[in-house]
Chain A
Amino acid sequence: MDHLGLWIAGFLTLGIYSFLYRDNPWYKLSESIFIGVSAGYWVVTEFWQNFVGKFWDQKGDDPWLWIGAVLGLMMLMRLFPKIGWISRWPLAFVVGATSGFWMMNYLTTNCMAQVQATIIPLLGLGYEASAVMIFSNIVLVVGTFCGVAYFFFSKAHTGVFGATARVGVWTIMVTFGAMFALTIMNRMSLLIGRTSFIFGEWLGLIR
């Protein structure tokens, strides 16, 4: 059985990578199997975890669960065009509850904590900072200020303000470059993982 599993995995891996040559039936088969298996796995897991685990098994213990069940049922009304509007009610509930849940979280972690992180002694006053740390602090503060300035559209980007916004654009570009590089690193890691599987676990060619 292990042998069969290895061969199926190897066959499908090569099938997916065959797209690099050109689109072909082998790729399409591999892609379809992947999508089908993923979707099937999700459906089964979510059914047993959510519907059975969280509602069906406990429906007698907690009457509040019935509210969730009814909202869930209302959400499925989208499948019937004539009464599809009913699905907007549970959707409104989800949007409202999620917004309320995240409002304070975002404010504390993505706003206040980030503002606090930029209020630092630039030249390392008050603590022993290395030259690298001082440089890093300056880049952080200047980059943040200029980046925010770029998104201030109530004033024309000319003169000193224009130059500040320009530095902001460059900072953003450098950020995108770093993100692009890390994305490449991630994709390469995935490829390395599959290549290692093909030459190592499957064909046993790596010592």
Chain B
Amino acid sequence: MKTRVIEIGVLVVAAVGCVIAYLGKPNIFGWHSGFVFSPTVSLIIIVLIGVSLLWMLIRTLQNRLVGRRIVFLYVGIAISLPLFMSITQNIVVSENVRDVYTALDELDPGEKVLVSFDYDPPSAPELQPMAEAFLAECFKRKLKVIIIGLWPMGPIQANMAIDTVMERMGLDSTQLVYGVDYCNLGYQAGNEFVIQRMGTSFEAMFGNDVRGTPYREVPLVKNVKNFSNIDYSFNLSSGFVGTVEWVQVAVSRYGLRLGAGNTAVQAPTVYPYLRAGLLTGLLAGMNGAAEFEKLTDFKGKATIFMLSQTFSHVIVIAFIIIGNVAFFRGGRKTALKGGSE
């Protein structure tokens, strides 16, 4: 009964806190304009977290095990606090990411780039920053972008990315003309068979664009018959259907030049194709997105999120060490059961 009262109390306090914070947003009552920790405060927080982890390691050595909720709490802290910190993280650009940039560098203005959006909102934290940075770079280089989606939500994610890019680059619909500079052919069901059919006819798969305009009436694509009219392509994917299918069908059969942006969990399945020269560049996970943002000087969410990513990795590594210490210290049975609550 007492626990239930405490739980309800916490929920009420949290709800009231949310309402106060929401009403205080700049676009409502403007009580606050958000918070940011100075570098000194950030450093103090980092030291405190480090000390508490050390304390937990010592407790573990004394056979006093950490409960799973403590692990969740630390992961939450490691992810939340860096979002408020003003310190930045150095990002080193890898060769795979540079290859995507170089591929764009080799294109002349006016050449056509096919971008396939094969993901949905759950993968957006990793792939949306990639999409925005890639599209921004294409538009900066005056490349013509043809968008398709083999996932139902893909073309919607593409429209969101274009809106963000246009806003950040200060472009309006007269400077970046739909149908001339870019077009969105929408979603097509059929997975890998859509790619196969596109090898002979784009129009057979995409009769109309997302605005309902017939394929032949969209100026950008009216002369695009198949992959042979595409100068470079980029696939953003988070699973099936995705980069693997694009490589196996479009690259292998039709010789399409393809770069990819993948979620981190999918990257290991794609690396062999990269090594075999079937892929021209790969952005893997949030790290890949942040590297591409740095390369293209289009600082977006991936760069901001990388600090949280690093912090969370440190926390996970720390708890792997603590867990192993618990295991080998003799509390194996308890450790295997998940520790004390």
A interface, CB within 8 angstroms of B: 6-7, 10, 20-21, 41-42, 45-46, 49-50, 54, 101-102, 105-106, 108-110, 113-114, 116-117, 140, 175, 178-179, 182-196, 199-200, 202-207
Cβ 8 A contact of B32, one of A41, A200, A204: A204
Cβ 8 A contact of B79, one of A102, A106, A188: A188
Find out whether the CB atom of A185 lies under 8 angstroms from the CB atom of B273.
Answer: no
Q: Beyond A109-B248, A186-B265, A186-B266: 12 further Cβ-contacts under 8 Å?
A: A102-B248, A109-B276, A117-B276, A182-B265, A188-B309, A188-B313, A189-B126, A189-B286, A191-B75, A202-B22, A203-B25, A207-B84
Interface size class of B (residues with CB under 8 A): 35 or more
The CA-CA distance from A186 to B296 in the complex, in Å, is 23
Q: Is there a chain A Cβ closer than 8 Å to B329's Cβ? A: no
Question: In the assembled complex, how far is the CB of residue A174 from the closest CB belonging to chain B, in whole angstroms?
Answer: 12
The CA-CA distance from A192 to B251 in the complex, in Å, is 34
Find out whether the CB atom of B309 lies under 8 angstroms from the CB atom of A182.
Answer: no
26 A-B Cβ contacts within 8 A?
Answer: A7-B22, A46-B189, A49-B152, A50-B189, A101-B196, A106-B248, A109-B276, A110-B248, A113-B273, A113-B278, A117-B275, A182-B268, A184-B316, A185-B286, A188-B313, A188-B316, A189-B126, A189-B263, A190-B126, A192-B125, A192-B305, A193-B305, A195-B80, A206-B35, A207-B33, A207-B35
Cβ 8 A contact of B285, one of A140, A189, A195, A206: A189
Find out whether the CB atom of B21 lies under 8 angstroms from the CB atom of A175.
Answer: no
The CA-CA distance from A204 to B19 in the complex, in Å, is 11
Among the interface residues A101, A109, A189, which one has the most CB atoms of the partner chain B within 10 A?
A: A189
Find out whether the CB atom of B264 lies under 8 angstroms from the CB atom of A117.
Answer: no
Find out whether the CB atom of B187 lies under 8 angstroms from the CB atom of A192.
Answer: no
Across-interface contacts of B72 in A (CB, < 8 A):
20
The CA-CA distance from A192 to B78 in the complex, in Å, is 10
Tell me whether A204 and B25 are in contact in the complex, defined as CB-CB below 8 angstroms, given that A49-B188, A109-B248, A185-B264 are known contacts.
Answer: yes
Across-interface contacts of A200 in B (CB, < 8 A):
83
Find out whether the CB atom of B32 lies under 8 angstroms from the CB atom of A189.
Answer: no
Question: In the assembled complex, how far is the CB of residue B194 from the closest CB belonging to chain A, in whole angstroms?
Answer: 11
Find out whether the CB atom of B305 lies under 8 angstroms from the CB atom of A205.
Answer: no
Find out whether the CB atom of A204 lies under 8 angstroms from the CB atom of B21.
Answer: yes
Cβ 8 A contact of B189, one of A21, A49, A195: A49
Interface SS of chain B: helix, strand, loop or mixed? helix
Q: Is there a chain A Cβ closer than 8 Å to B170's Cβ? A: no
Nearest B residue to A187, CB-CB: B265
Across-interface contacts of B79 in A (CB, < 8 A):
188, 191-192, 195
Find out whether the CB atom of A109 lies under 8 angstroms from the CB atom of B273.
Answer: yes
Nearest B residue to A18, CB-CB: B11
Q: Is there a chain A Cβ closer than 8 Å to B124's Cβ? A: yes
Find out whether the CB atom of A190 lies under 8 angstroms from the CB atom of B122.
Answer: yes
Among the interface residues B247, B265, B267, which one has the most CB atoms of the partner chain A within 10 A?
A: B265
The total number of A-B Cβ pairs within 8 Å is: 157
Across-interface contacts of B32 in A (CB, < 8 A):
204-205
The CA-CA distance from A105 to B245 in the complex, in Å, is 9
Find out whether the CB atom of A20 lies under 8 angstroms from the CB atom of B69.
Answer: yes
Tell me whether A207 and B285 are in contact in the complex, defined as CB-CB below 8 angstroms, given that A20-B72, A113-B276, A179-B268 are known contacts.
Answer: no
Find out whether the CB atom of A205 lies under 8 angstroms from the CB atom of B187.
Answer: no
Nearest B residue to A38, CB-CB: B120
Against A, the Cβ 8 Å flags (1 = close, 0 = not) of B274-316 are 0111100000111100000000000001001100110011001
Restricting to B66-118, which residues have a CB under 8 Å from any CB of A?
A: 69, 72, 75-76, 79-80, 83-84
Against A, the Cβ 8 Å flags (1 = close, 0 = not) of B14-57 are 00001001101111000011111000000000000000000000
Among the interface residues A116, A187, A191, A200, which one has the most CB atoms of the partner chain B within 10 A?
A: A191
Find out whether the CB atom of A189 lies under 8 angstroms from the CB atom of B309.
Answer: yes
Q: Is there a chain A Cβ closer than 8 Å to B249's Cβ? A: yes
Find out whether the CB atom of A195 lies under 8 angstroms from the CB atom of B83.
Answer: yes
Across-interface contacts of B248 in A (CB, < 8 A):
102, 105-106, 108-110
Cβ 8 A contact of A196, one of B83, B122, B277: B83
The CA-CA distance from A52 to B7 in the complex, in Å, is 50
A-B pairs with the 7 shortest C-beta distances?
A: A193-B125, A207-B34, A204-B25, A186-B265, A117-B276, A185-B264, A186-B264
The CA-CA distance from A127 to B272 in the complex, in Å, is 21
The CA-CA distance from A184 to B69 in the complex, in Å, is 18
Find out whether the CB atom of A186 lies under 8 angstroms from the CB atom of B83.
Answer: no
Question: In the assembled complex, how far is the CB of residue A66 from the closest CB belonging to chain B, in whole angstroms?
Answer: 18
The CA-CA distance from A45 to B75 in the complex, in Å, is 37
